[in-house]
Amino acid sequence: MPRPAIPSVTIATPEVLALRNDLEAAPFTLASALDVWGDAAGQALHRGNRIPARRAVAAARTADG
């Protein structure tokens, strides 16, 4: 079953623009998250199962010290 289209919303208050700038400057992207949790956890997320991704992130944090 295809997903319904999500309507586009534009809100341009100073707070929203500041948040957008902060998020764009942050090192957290979908690509970096996928690098941390890997394909298997990404597939589990698509099925609604967050546990493999949480375990992968916890393991990465432990490995980083």
Between 40 and 6, the more confident residue is 40
Q: Is the pTM of this model over 0.75?
A: no
Confidence check: pLDDT of 51 > 90: yes
Between 4 and 36, the more confident residue is 36
**What distance in Å separates the CA atoms of residue 30 and residue 50, rounded to the nearest whole number?**
15
Q: pLDDT, tens digit, for every residue of 6-29?
A: 888 888 899 999 998 998 898 888
**Cα within 13 Å of Cα(4), Cβ side:** 3
Mean pLDDT of the residues in the chain:
88
Q: Is 41 exposed, middle or buried (0-12, 13-18, 19+ CB in 10 A)?
A: buried
**What distance in Å separates the CA atoms of residue 47 and residue 28, rounded to the nearest whole number?**
22
In degrees and rounded to multiples of 5, residue 47 shows phi and psi of -90, 0
Domain boundary assignment for the chain: 28-64
